[in-house]
Amino acid sequence: MIALDPLLQDDLLWAPLLIVLLKVLVVFVVGLLATMLMVWFERKAIAGMQNRIGPNKAGPFGILQTLADGIKLFFKEDSFPSRADRFVFALAPFLSFVPAFLAFAIIPLGGDFRNGSSGEVTLFGQVTRIQLADPPIGVLFALAISSIAVYGIMLAGWSSGSKYPLLGSVRATAQMVSYEAALGLSLACVLLLSGTLSTSGIVSAQTTIVDWHIISTGIVPFFIFMIAATAELNRPPFDLVEAEQELVGGFNTEYSSIRFALFYLAEFMNTVTMSALIVTLFFGGPQPIAVGNFVLDIPLLPNALEGTVWLLAKILVFLYIYIWFRATLPRLRYDQLMDLGWKLLIPASLGWFMLLAAQRLARQNNWNIFVVTGSSIVVLLICYLLMQAAFARSARERETQGTMF
């Protein structure tokens, strides 16, 4: 058994194979198109916020601007810096680009998950899911892929053989590795409630709006996940990786032509994927908005297709939020970034996870849930005070003795 998808459980036949190939093709093309539109959307939206017009020449509303830029980049000279490590330099863009597309494979892109339906559809006489892969490890796959994506940026900076890209990539690696912990811990809160790792299982657990994990996990894990995801994507306000004033262009300074385009594509593709992941984990993915028995149904559309419409609408909201962040928030300083990650987000997500686990244990053993929650909060508060005391002590020592490192 490679996947939970019923399509792949019997013998290998032509029809399932063709459906899988079709899905791969669709996901790839949709991914590329989404990235193209995202670049345009970001430029247009930011231009609007800054009282500019933005791209308006290529196509209606400048929508083909990204295509034009892509073609331009294709025809530019592909240069190798003389001090570059040629093999690694050529490998790095692909290490960045391929994971960006792979992570998209586990997102449920549609299907009917209402009233405990499994989200399966019948396509050419075969029962399948509208999702490229549904591995048993589910969202862990996304984490694994995002930890591979670190290599692309890290090796790009190192192999350029120049100091600004190296500084940029060292920053990026430290940032991505530290925020991965907070990302994983806030994800664990969702997994604790859904009881499964599979993305389709997580989606089908969120039928009504009260079951959406943003509400059932108590909002905090969502905010931590959102912040950590932004840092993981190296997007503003966490884009010190490519701080132009300090680092010229960050890890991709020495890259040109199609190799640069691959990094650019990967960055925007990652933004789309991460928005889709947030929607899947916290906002019910392709589930419609439903309160109690009332379901906000789109008329005339079959439920499976409607899932795709809902998913797109929800993803668009998050893409807009990311653009909003970029237009609004100033970039963090490096020490602020590390403090936020290690001293706030990781302890907060760990504490919240413990609280949820205690509540779950209380429900299982029929303990008084208010007493358990209250005493957990007291314990967490004591931990918080101890931590603050430790920070205060170390700050005082730094004042008197200077930094040790």
Partner 1 sequence: MEFFVFVCAALMILLGAVGVIVRKHPVHAALSLVLTLFGVAVLFVAQEAHFLAAVQVIVYAGAIVVLFLFVIMLLGVDRVENLRTEPLTAQRPLAIIASLGLLGVLVAAIVNGNGVLNERGSGINLPDLQNGSDANTVQLAESIFSQYVVAFEVTSVLLVIAVVGTVLLTRKAKLGAK
Q: Is residue 4 involved in binding partner 1 (CB under 8 A)?
A: yes
The least CB distance from residue 272 to partner 1, in Å, is 22
The least CB distance from residue 282 to partner 1, in Å, is 19
What's the distance, CA 290 to chain centroid? 25
Amino acid present at 88: V
- Looking at 40, 89, 104, 158, which residue binds partner 1 (CB under 8 A)? 158
**Which among 154-162, 246-254, 263-271, 321-329 is the span making contact with partner 1, rule CB under 8 A?**
154-162
* Backbone Cα Rg of the chain: 23
The least CB distance from residue 139 to partner 1, in Å, is 10
Q: Is residue 405 involved in binding partner 1 (CB under 8 A)?
A: yes
Taking phi over 0 as left and psi of -120 to 50 as alpha, with beta for the rest, 50 belongs to alpha
Site for partner 1 in 230-249 (CB under 8 A): none
**Which among 139-147, 275-283, 296-304, 309-317 is the span making contact with partner 1, rule CB under 8 A?**
139-147
The least CB distance from residue 324 to partner 1, in Å, is 30
- Looking at 19, 37, 85, 305, which residue binds partner 1 (CB under 8 A)? 85
- Looking at 160, 173, 217, 252, which residue binds partner 1 (CB under 8 A)? 173
The least CB distance from residue 204 to partner 1, in Å, is 8
**Which among 42-50, 141-149, 255-263, 297-305 is the span making contact with partner 1, rule CB under 8 A?**
141-149
The least CB distance from residue 395 to partner 1, in Å, is 16
Identity of the residue, 85 or 211, whose beta carbon is nearer to partner 1 in the bound complex: 85
- Looking at 40, 97, 104, 141, which residue binds partner 1 (CB under 8 A)? 141
354: its two tokens: 């413990």
- Looking at 49, 63, 68, 177, which residue binds partner 1 (CB under 8 A)? 177
Separation of alpha carbons 97 and 152, rounded Å: 8
The answer to whether 279 touches 214, Cβ cutoff 8 Å, is no
Helix H or strand E encompassing 150: helix 139-159
Site for partner 1 in 13-72 (CB under 8 A): none
From residue 99 to residue 138, the character string flagging contacts with partner 1 as x (rule: CB under 8 A) and all else as - is: ------------------------------------xxx-
DSSP state for residue 197 in the 8-state scheme? -
Helix H or strand E encompassing 200: helix 199-204
Strand partners, 65: none
Q: Is residue 193 involved in binding partner 1 (CB under 8 A)?
A: no
Identity of the residue, 179 or 322, whose beta carbon is nearer to partner 1 in the bound complex: 179
Other Cβ atoms within 10 Å of 386 Cβ, number: 10
What's the distance, CA 103 to chain centroid? 9
The answer to whether 196 touches 108, Cβ cutoff 8 Å, is no
Identity of the residue, 30 or 390, whose beta carbon is nearer to partner 1 in the bound complex: 390
Identity of the residue, 164 or 223, whose beta carbon is nearer to partner 1 in the bound complex: 164
Q: Is residue 198 involved in binding partner 1 (CB under 8 A)?
A: yes
Separation of alpha carbons 392 and 381, rounded Å: 16
Identity of the residue, 37 or 354, whose beta carbon is nearer to partner 1 in the bound complex: 354
Other Cβ atoms within 10 Å of 233 Cβ, number: 22
Separation of alpha carbons 140 and 10, rounded Å: 25
The answer to whether 303 touches 112, Cβ cutoff 8 Å, is yes
The least CB distance from residue 326 to partner 1, in Å, is 27
- Looking at 42, 180, 242, 267, which residue binds partner 1 (CB under 8 A)? 180
The tally of CA atoms less than 13 A away on the side-chain side of residue 397 is: 9
The answer to whether 32 touches 15, Cβ cutoff 8 Å, is no
Which residues does 98 contact at the CB level (< 8 Å), separation at least 6?
none
Beta strands, E only, 8-125? 120-123
DSSP state for residue 345 in the 8-state scheme? I
- Looking at 150, 156, 261, 276, which residue binds partner 1 (CB under 8 A)? 150
The answer to whether 185 touches 162, Cβ cutoff 8 Å, is no
Comparing C-alpha atoms, which of 149, 114, 152, 113 is closest to residue 134? 113
Residues at the site binding partner 1, with contacts judged by CB under 8 A: 1, 4, 85, 88, 135-137, 140-141, 143-144, 147-148, 150-151, 154-155, 158, 166, 169-170, 173-174, 177, 180, 195-198, 201, 204, 404-405
